[in-house]
Homo-oligomer: A and B are copies of this chain.
């Protein structure tokens, strides 16, 4: 096998947070963003302006000679968007953690380009440590996508669809679930007229600690100590929040059980 043909030009389907952050990072590393298609007019127009690329009003009009068509739309839309594409000469890939690569099975070359990260509008992200989970229908496609990811990150992995689903599940937990817990804690404080910001140093340190100590070993608190009287008092304090109380009791009992059998 000769040297790989580098991906130089990329068209985006989708103009949300994942698409925007990836496109900006690609642009900064010298790649050409060719075209964008998105049903969201405002986002698509912002995206086209930002990336200095053309905006398509119809998927069938996409230039088939582009090196990569990257589908960065909600999971439930991937199949539908893919079906509307003409035959693409290069690679078609999606950015989903959950969807199988086989959703793109009828393309000539296809793969997955999943960044294991959360992206927020107007909040810059450093890509250099973001894990990229790469998959391709053959070795060449897979390596070309991995080379592309390596232009953004030092943390690139070849991971197949079944494994990637577990990474996505874990990501949902540490991102969405953690965020839900932040919300609950903040809600309780705001109802006592405290500012959510009081929790920020603890939130930061809790995340930071995970870098050096396995969470299992880092655990502390009333449930870890099996301190029933504090747990019971906390449950009483949550009497007006039946949902939060249910969550408090379930997690506390799981932690207690883990450390005290």
Contact = CB atoms under 8 A, between A and B. Distances in A.
Given A120-B213, A166-B237, A181 B173 contact: yes
Interface stretch (A82-90, A101-109, A139-147, A227-235): A227-235
A207 B207 contact: yes
Contacts of A210: 179, 182, 196, 199-200, 203
| Residue among A166, A167, A180, A192 having the largest count of chain B Cβ atoms under 10 Å | A180
A30 interface: no
Nearest to A216: B183
Interface stretch (A3-11, A35-43, A243-251): A243-251
B185 A221 contact: no
A173 B167 contact: no
A173 B198 contact: no
A29 interface: no
Interface residues of A, number: 85
A46 interface: no
A74 B227 CA distance: 10
Given A215-B183, A237-B165, A175 B200 contact: no
B186 A223 contact: no
Interface in A199-215: 199-215
Given A214-B196, A219-B180, A254-B243, A205 B163 contact: no
